Amino acid sequence: MPETHVEPKDRSAARSLLRLWPYVKPVRIRLFGAAAVAIVASCLGLVIPLVLKWIVDGPVANRDPGGVWLGALYLLVLGIAEALLFGLRRWLVARPLAGVEASMRADLYRHLQRLPVAFHDRWPSGQLLSRGTTDLMLLRMFLAFPLTFLLVNATTILAGFIILLVQQWTLGLVLLVPVVPLVILCSVFETKFAVVARKAQDQVGDLTTVVEESVLGIRIIKGFGRHRSQALAFRGLSQRLRGTELDKARLLAGIWAFITTIPELAIGAALVLGTIQVADGDLSAGTLVAFLSTALALRWPVESIGFLLAMSQESATATERFFEVMDTAEERETAGESPSQSSPPNSQQHADGGMVFEGVEFRYPDAESGSAPVLARIDLRIRPGETMALVGATGSGKTTLTALVPRLHDATAGRITLDGTDITAMRREQLRELVSVAFEEPTLFSASVGENVLMGADGAGEDELRRALSIAQADFVYDLPEGIHTQVGEQGLSLSGGQRQRLALARAVVGQPRFLVLDDPLSALDVHTETLVEAALRRVLESTTAIVVAHRPSTVMLADRVALLSEGRISAVGTHQELLRSNAEYAWLMSGAGDTPEFLSTDGMPAMVVPAEKDSTR
């Protein structure tokens, strides 16, 4: 499977994480409060060595059992207070950070709905799923733990070294020696870990894509017996991810080993020097105990630096991946015209307009520079109330042309008008209320039959639903276990292809749209059902302006006129009978013998059957 990775921007981890501030800002008071509570709790831990110093130099030296018990009570109270404060910190951050994650996920989903179709054509679904699930979960964990403890541990280390220097500055300087090598090691680790973390998260997205495709395509896998090849492909991606995760583990193990070993050596050196000073009478035993206890209390804040840096880097890459999607521009409204300026076509426009293509050209955004456009100089007028059939060989651009009407793609030149109004002057919401579509590949959602059909019109009720089901000859739904309330399951795969297509057609007509775009809507129906659907559909087409992609004569007969699309251009327009008599390419297509021949005799019949090569035009 080809990978679709976006090169990460050259940005520091801190700068990437700062982009989370708009989401964190509403809960900043509780986060700052939680950090303050954690700092107090951590500093209470540094008081414990001072109590130990008092116990050793006081009650223990003076053989005072009562003083020892009092000191033990102080230690117990400090321990309980520290535990309660850390519990309070957890309670303070749990609810607001769950809200931050939910808000980010909602924004991502909302943004994905507004991104152009060209974006979804480029991005594997697994990459988007991993950004909306694992990446956001990682960010919530970062905000709950590493972010707070980077601040808490830094404060604790600073306060701890001040206490050490005050107690015995010579020993304190010994413990400060490892600071320089540790800073250098952490900087190198951060740079290397950032690269590996990004690679691992992208590979998780690739793996998610394979799993999703395998689940949705399980019928193909089983039908062709491709279990082994799919398992091998999955294993290959899993092994690559495993290798990357091991690289992360090696880096983390290396930094942890150095961060643990170097301070331990410094503490050992301080212990030797401190013992010598106690023996010489230059230092009290209580002071040495307090000094070493403080140094040991600082072990976890120091040793956790590697772990916290690793989580911070993973969170920074997760933030970059999230904003790679969020920074993608949404579908643009017409430049220079606000949505409020556009108005629905008036009655005079409706009388004079219909659907008009004027000099329309289209080239996909990812097409090579200088390549021929998919559609070139399309000039076509569909009169109000007229149905136009669009016929052409495979790859001629029929589906692409119909996708321009609801602005799933924007024309790169020319314009399309509906009842005299340029579609780019309308809000997309308004345009898609006027235009209803049914695609050749029907897509159903994990919802009830009724909910799937009613997606075609806001505010439609049960009467409209039953009417649409009748037109689409989809009365089979009443025989389902729960009728129109039956859940159709993911992608509607519990239904046959013809049943799904009929529900998609019902969804297109339920709102009685002014304009209708049908992309070969009857291709999966049997002959008997097709005849019934066509009879009902004719009544619908009488009251709407429609363009219908057709591959069979029976579908063409629904139309008043036919437009022949050849190599991205309209080569002929007329009635079915006129084109049969006058156009050899059309006659060939309607004969059902194959795609457009390269050679035709002068009387319009094939002289040599040479099917046109199918290209990759969408």
pLDDT tens digits for range 398-441:
888 988 998 888 888 899 999 888 998 888 888 888 888 887 77
pLDDT, position 612? 38
Amino acid in the structure at residue 115: L
pLDDT, position 561? 92
- 11-39: pLDDT as tens digits: 677 888 889 999 998 988 888 888 888 88
- 44-78: pLDDT as tens digits: 877 877 777 777 777 777 777 877 788 788 888 88
DSSP at 56: I
Asked if 488 contacts 495 with a C-beta cutoff of 8 angstroms, the reply is yes
Kindly report which listed range (4-8, 290-294, 567-571, 586-590) carries the lowest average pLDDT score. Answer: 4-8
pLDDT, position 603? 42
Domain end marker among 295, 326, 357: 326
Q: Is residue 207 part of a domain?
A: yes
Annotate 242-269 with b (16+ C-beta within 10 A) or e (fewer): eebeebbeebbeebbebbeebbeebbee
On whether both 354 and 259 belong to a single domain, the answer is no
| Residue found under tokens 């049914």 | 438
pLDDT, position 493? 67
Q: In this model, does residue 342 exceed pLDDT 70?
A: no
Q: Is residue 453 part of a domain?
A: yes
On whether both 76 and 130 belong to a single domain, the answer is yes
On whether both 380 and 412 belong to a single domain, the answer is yes
Say how far apart CA 547 and CA 563 lie, in whole Å: 10
On whether both 181 and 244 belong to a single domain, the answer is yes
Cα-based torsion angle of the residue sequence 407, 409, 414, 415 in order, rounded to the nearest 10 degrees: 0
Say how far apart CA 340 and CA 343 lie, in whole Å: 8
Say how far apart CA 301 and CA 38 lie, in whole Å: 13
Question: Tokens for 311?
Answer: 């989580």
Q: In this model, does residue 537 exceed pLDDT 60?
A: yes
Work out how many domains the chain is built from and give that number.
2
Say how far apart CA 23 and CA 20 lie, in whole Å: 6
On whether both 318 and 378 belong to a single domain, the answer is no
SS3 of 213, please?
helix
Question: Tokens for 440?
Answer: 């050749």
Distant-in-sequence, close-in-space partners of 113: CB < 8 Å, separation ≥ 6: none
Q: Is the pTM of this model over 0.75?
A: no
Helix or strand run (H / E) with residue 22: helix 21-24
CATH assignment of the domain containing 253: 1.20.1560.10
pLDDT, position 322? 92
CATH assignment of the domain containing 586: 3.40.50.300
Q: Is residue 140 part of a domain?
A: yes
- 463-507: pLDDT as tens digits: 888 888 888 888 888 888 888 888 887 666 677 777 887 888 888
- 159-216: pLDDT as tens digits: 888 888 888 888 888 888 888 888 888 888 888 888 898 888 888 888 888 887 787 7
On whether both 393 and 315 belong to a single domain, the answer is no
Annotate 393-425 with b (16+ C-beta within 10 A) or e (fewer): bebbbbbbbbbbbbbbbbbbebebbbbebebbb
Q: Is residue 337 part of a domain?
A: no
pLDDT, position 341? 38
Say how far apart CA 423 and CA 405 lie, in whole Å: 8
On whether both 55 and 141 belong to a single domain, the answer is yes
Instruction: Give the pLDDT band of residue 617 (cuts 50, 70, 90).
Output: very low
CA 274 to chain centroid, in Å, comes to 58
On whether both 270 and 411 belong to a single domain, the answer is no
pLDDT, position 333? 60
- 230-269: pLDDT as tens digits: 888 888 889 999 999 899 889 888 888 888 888 888 888 8
pLDDT, position 418? 92
Cα-based torsion angle of the residue sequence 168, 170, 173, 175 in order, rounded to the nearest 10 degrees: -70
Helices (H), 280-363: 285-297, 299-326, 347-352
Of the ranges 322-326, 448-452, 475-479, the best mean pLDDT one: 322-326
SS3 of 523, please?
coil
Q: In this model, does residue 598 exceed pLDDT 70?
A: no
On whether both 451 and 574 belong to a single domain, the answer is yes
Q: Is residue 7 part of a domain?
A: no
Q: In this model, does residue 336 exceed pLDDT 60?
A: no
pLDDT, position 334? 52
pLDDT, position 62? 73
Cα-based torsion angle of the residue sequence 90, 95, 99, 101 in order, rounded to the nearest 10 degrees: 30
Residue 479: CB atoms within 10 A of its CB come to 8
pLDDT, position 106? 92
SS3 of 542, please?
coil
On whether both 500 and 577 belong to a single domain, the answer is yes
Q: In this model, does residue 594 exceed pLDDT 50?
A: no
- 263-300: pLDDT as tens digits: 888 888 888 888 888 888 877 787 778 788 888 888 88
One DSSP character per residue, 452-466 reads HHHTTSTT--HHHHH
Say how far apart CA 3 and CA 201 lie, in whole Å: 13
Please, what is the average pLDDT of the chain? 80
On whether both 217 and 313 belong to a single domain, the answer is yes
CA 160 to each of CA 49, 169, 304: distance values in angstroms, whole numbers, following the listed order: 10, 12, 15
Q: Is residue 8 part of a domain?
A: no
Q: Is residue 356 part of a domain?
A: yes
Q: In this model, does residue 42 exceed pLDDT 70?
A: yes
Residue 439: CB atoms within 10 A of its CB come to 19
User: What residues make up the domain containing 358?
Assistant: 346-365+372-611
Distant-in-sequence, close-in-space partners of 53: CB < 8 Å, separation ≥ 6: 167, 286, 287, 289, 290
Question: Tokens for 366?
Answer: 């990812």
Say how far apart CA 404 and CA 118 lie, in whole Å: 12
Say how far apart CA 8 and CA 371 lie, in whole Å: 29
Q: What are the two backbone dihedrals, phi and then psi, of residue 17, each rounded to the nearest 5 degrees?
A: -70, -25
Q: Is residue 209 part of a domain?
A: yes
- List beta partners, residue 389: 548, 562
Average pLDDT over residues 96-109: 89
Helix or strand run (H / E) with residue 614: none
Q: In this model, does residue 150 exceed pLDDT 90?
A: no
Q: What percent of the chain has pLDDT over 70?
A: 89
Say how far apart CA 48 and CA 215 lie, in whole Å: 57
pLDDT, position 616? 36
On whether both 289 and 350 belong to a single domain, the answer is no
Q: What percent of the chain has pLDDT over 90?
A: 9
